[in-house]
A and B are shown apart, each in its own frame.
Chain A
Amino acid sequence: MNVLYRSLRVTVHSQFYRQISVNMIRRTQIKKVLCVAEKNDAAKGIAEIMSNGRSRRREGYSVYNKIYEYEYNLFGQNVTVSMTSVSGHLLGLEFKAPFQKWHSCNPVLLFDAEVEKYCPENFIPIKRTLEREVRQCQALVIWTDCDREGENIGFEIIDVCKAVKPNVQVFRARFSEITPNSIRRACETLTEPNINISDAVDVRQELDLRIGASFTRFQTLRLQKIFPESLSDQLISYGSCQFPTLGFVVERFKAIQAFVPETFFKIKVVHEPNEEESVEFNWKRHRLFNHTACLVLYQMCMEDPTAKVISVTSKPKSKWRPLPLDTVELEKLASRKLRISAKETMKTAEKLYTQGFISYPRTETNMFPQNLNLTLLVEQQTQDNEWGNFAQRILESGGPTPRNGNKSDQAHPPIHPTKYTNSLQGNEKRLYEFIVRHFLACCSKDAQGQEVTVEIEIAEERFSASGLTIIARNYLEVYPYDKWYNKVIPLYRPDTTFQPTAIEMVEGQTSPPQLLTEADLISLMEKHGIGTDATHAEHIETIKSRMYVGLTADQRFLPGELGMGLVEGYNSMGYEMSKPDLRAELEADLKLVSEGRKDKASVLRYHVAKYKAVFIESVRKAKKLDEALSNYLGPAQEITEQEQGEM
């Protein structure tokens, strides 16, 4: 964090690009085109498709980012394409030199200190490649991932290229999967990069930097001094997403601690009409939290223990096939069903995507677009030994009939397989199989069953039991992640009576909620708008790596002492630092910026001011933080007024 190599100052204003019209450009002579993808894998995959596997590979300055060269018909003419890549963000954001060192200034100044974009040392070779290549090109096509970060990375590439070749013409390729159709379509419909989306990322980056650096410096410097024994070497980071995420973990832990179990009582009726069959009837009152009241009703039942069948109803019941897969569902399901963490899931999914096996895995869409040829996608899977027959049956029984949700991000389709493979290993194989099975299940039919409910009365108390007969398993055949079982109950006729085998009064206890699983935590983050589907996994990873939380043996989140103390400390200041509201408002504004409905500068100004006010108050009430932490870390070290002033 200390030494920075700054070789670029970004001053180019992007307003300019908006005025480019595609029609105008077509008249100029373009001979050579530079294409830049977000990662080397993607560049390689796209180049392979565009060149029909006949691209020439060259080295760039960065050993990880190759250059693929080939001829292609673009803008209605044959051009030479150089396809290369970056490795995610090319530029970083940092404070200007006087503010970079930890002790260089009072952290409160970081809310207003000047910031600038720079190219970190390890990315300079990539930047040099771009500068060298673009000089010989008349056009630049951005092939980064089509999401917020991708759009922003695109503008970083544009800024670097424009700095050495101001008149290069810039285009954006839009695609959701690295398949021939999708890439060809993107080439035919090149557009302009979207500055609004990129602006939203700039705002987020700048706020994260200012808020993160100020609070992190403040709390680290203070707490290291106050708890030298436990914290002297510890970085105590703060982030406006990681704290609410930590807050959820602490909140659940405290809910469990505060919970008071209560005893309840219920009446259970068992009927065994013959040796093979046994039915348990459930009390309509469910349960009572009072022994006497239950005993009174139980005694009445025992005095007249004849059961009268009130009604027997039979109705169809279906178990719904899954909805098309969006990112959050993928993370949650992979975590629950495959026991793969959200971070690992996204890493693996990204790899599957860049190899062309699945569509873009960052999507909020859970409905298939009309123009997606699902039949073709199902067809690709018919060759598999395990689910091939199922795929074949979908085609033979009327074709894919996807169940659709109602969310769309207007950018990417739901996650689905784009190419068949049986050559994967390990988690890649498991995740690919899951995505394929989920897709086929979604394109299939709901499972169908018939539910029979028997209602009986004993001494005017009502009880009921139900049985289930599965008629057609349908999607369940390809989707082992869902379970549905037959439950047989004997035949009862209305208005008949029988003697129950046993009537019992049983007791039980209420139990607290459980510690959060990763899937629960993602649900909460989504519910409160903390982070985006693209960043949930990262925030969770951060609070783990900072030791704010740990995992129990059954993979549930348990807050650590430092995490508990920090949340309690900030809570006792009366600020909702660990509550989701502050951050959620910011995320909502970022969305408006990305849609062009709010402007970058005013959103920045508003949120900087808000967090700055919270910061000033937090410093004023810093003793509360010490107090809360001393419950976990032992007595606080006294510090002098002067030391206090220096912090």
Chain B
Amino acid sequence: MSVGEVQVTQAWLHSEWHVQVPPAWLDACVNWIKEEADRESVPQLQLNQRVLEQWLLTDLRDLAHPVLPEGISEALKTQLDSCYCVQMDSVLDISQPAYTQLQRIRGTDCSNDQVSAVTQETQRPWEAKPTRMLMLQLTDGVQSLEGMEYRPIPALSTNLPPGTKLQLVGPIAVRLGVLLLKAENVKVLGGEVEQLLEIYSQGRVLCGTLGLPEENHPQGEEPDD
């Protein structure tokens, strides 16, 4: 392995993606990619891309390489000005009851629950249709903190898999340790973390919020006889 190659990759990650990784992980990663290639040479561009892919699928906790300013999750009021790549462990829509969301994903929401004897509907009252607000559980691998969807961010959704990597672009206001995110602050890089898929699935997150036992079997799957 040539030292030059690794450094080029490291520089590329940093300048293109603002991704910072510890040298030991990068060395190991490059080695592994080359072994996989079975002595065929791997062009630099391809190597860069393969390293990035590996990083997207890695749990940043394994890298233990902090990037966020220390103590940010305790800050009462501050601002993040530069660019940081972090991992989103889980996401929850806090503009709606978790119970409603749980029923919806389990397919047990029953439209009959909404039926009441509204007779001869008169003009519909103006109903506040709440704007979505997602609450993200974020980590840079060492420090965990929350980010709230302060203004609508179309790129985010509750369907993003746990472990998705995000690029946060300052300036971002921080209050009570929570990032106030707007669309221009967030770029979704992709990826996921296999070990987190189950434990931070929407069903589990919603059950946790509600203090319900986590069910592995969705309802209605009861065997017949």
Which residues of A are at the interface with B, using a C-beta cutoff of 8 A? Answer: 248, 251-252, 255, 259-260, 262, 264, 282, 284-290, 292-293, 295-296, 299-300, 317-320, 322-323, 329, 332-333, 335-336, 466, 482, 510, 513-514, 517, 519-520, 522-524, 527, 572, 574, 621
Contacts and interface: CB of A to CB of B under 8 A. Distances in A.
A264 B130 CA distance: 13
Given A255-B110, A320-B122, A514-B116, 18 more contacts: A260-B211, A262-B209, A285-B95, A285-B131, A286-B130, A287-B95, A292-B176, A293-B94, A296-B148, A296-B178, A318-B123, A510-B99, A513-B113, A517-B116, A520-B115, A523-B115, A523-B116, A524-B115
Nearest to B132: A285
B7 interface: no
Given A284-B128, A285-B130, A296-B180, A523 B117 contact: yes
A293 B175 CA distance: 9
A252 B123 CA distance: 27
A289 B225 contact: no
Given A289-B97, A292-B178, A510-B99, A320 B119 contact: no
Nearest to B148: A293
B99 A252 contact: no
Contact of A293 (B97, B113, B135, B222): B135
B225 A621 contact: yes
A259 B98 CA distance: 11
Nearest to B129: A286
Given A251-B110, A319-B123, A287 B99 contact: no
Contacts of A252: 112-113
A286 to B, nearest CB: 4
A477 to B, nearest CB: 16
A289 B95 contact: yes
B105 to A, nearest CB: 15
Contacts of B148: 290, 293, 296
A299 B115 CA distance: 39
B171 to A, nearest CB: 15
Contacts of B178: 292-293, 296
B224 interface: yes
10 contacts: A260-B211, A262-B99, A284-B128, A285-B130, A285-B133, A319-B123, A322-B120, A335-B117, A513-B114, A519-B117
A517 B117 contact: yes
Given A320-B123, A510-B97, A262 B210 contact: yes
A524 B112 contact: yes
Contact of A292 (B99, B117, B146, B224): B146
B95 A262 contact: no
Given A260-B210, A296-B176, A329-B119, A289 B96 contact: yes
Q: Which of B97, B131, B210 has the most CB of A within 10 A?
A: B97
Contacts of B113: 252, 255, 513
Contact of B119 (A295, A319, A519, A524): A519
A255 B116 CA distance: 14
Q: Which of A329, A482, A510 has the most CB of B within 10 A?
A: A510
A237 B98 CA distance: 40
B130 A287 contact: yes
A508 to B, nearest CB: 11
A286 B98 contact: no
A574 B223 CA distance: 9
A510 B97 CA distance: 8
A466 B128 CA distance: 13
Contacts of B115: 520, 523-524, 527
A470 to B, nearest CB: 13
A259 B224 CA distance: 26
A255 B98 CA distance: 15
Interface in B158-184: 175-176, 178, 180
Contacts of A293: 94, 133, 135, 148, 178
B103 to A, nearest CB: 9
Given A289-B98, A574-B224, A295 B117 contact: no
A288 B99 contact: no
A520 B120 contact: no
Contact of A520 (B98, B99, B117, B209): B117
Nearest to B76: A299
Q: Which of A296, A336, A510, A523 has the most CB of B within 10 A?
A: A296
Contacts of B212: 260
Contacts of B120: 322-323, 329, 333
Contacts of A332: 117, 119
A293 B98 CA distance: 15
Q: Which of A290, A318, A336 has the most CB of B within 10 A?
A: A290
Contacts of A289: 94-98
Nearest to A621: B225
B133 A288 contact: yes
Contacts of B222: 572
A65 to B, nearest CB: 37
Contacts of B116: 513-514, 517, 520, 523
A543 B57 CA distance: 58
Contacts of B130: 285-287
Which 10 pairs across A and B sit closest by C-beta, in order of nearness?
A519-B117, A286-B130, A290-B94, A286-B128, A296-B175, A289-B94, A332-B119, A260-B210, A520-B117, A320-B122
Nearest to A290: B94
Contacts of B225: 621
Contacts of A317: 123
Interface string B131-160: 101010000000000101000000000000
Q: Which of B113, B114, B146, B212 has the most CB of A within 10 A?
A: B113
Contacts of B96: 289
Given A255-B113, A286-B130, A287-B130, A260 B123 contact: no
Nearest to B128: A286
Contacts of B98: 260, 262, 289
A522 B122 CA distance: 19
Interface in B182-225: 209-212, 222, 224-225
B99 A286 contact: no
B99 A251 contact: no
Interface in B46-104: 94-99
Q: Which of B119, B128, B175 has the most CB of A within 10 A?
A: B119
Nearest to A518: B117
B107 to A, nearest CB: 14
A332 to B, nearest CB: 5
A260 B96 CA distance: 13
A599 to B, nearest CB: 34
A628 to B, nearest CB: 13
Contacts of B110: 251, 255
Q: Which of B99, B117, B126, B224 has the most CB of A within 10 A?
A: B117
B118 to A, nearest CB: 8
A510 B101 CA distance: 13
A8 B207 CA distance: 65
Contacts of B94: 288-290, 293
Q: Which of B94, B96, B128, B209 has the most CB of A within 10 A?
A: B94
Nearest to A526: B115
Q: Which of B112, B118, B135 has the most CB of A within 10 A?
A: B112
A323 B120 CA distance: 7
Nearest to A466: B126
Contacts of A527: 112, 115
Contacts of A260: 98-99, 210-212
Nearest to B135: A290
Contacts of B95: 285-289
B185 to A, nearest CB: 15
B123 A336 contact: no
Q: Which of B115, B211, B224 has the most CB of A within 10 A?
A: B115
Given A260-B210, A262-B98, A299 B175 contact: yes
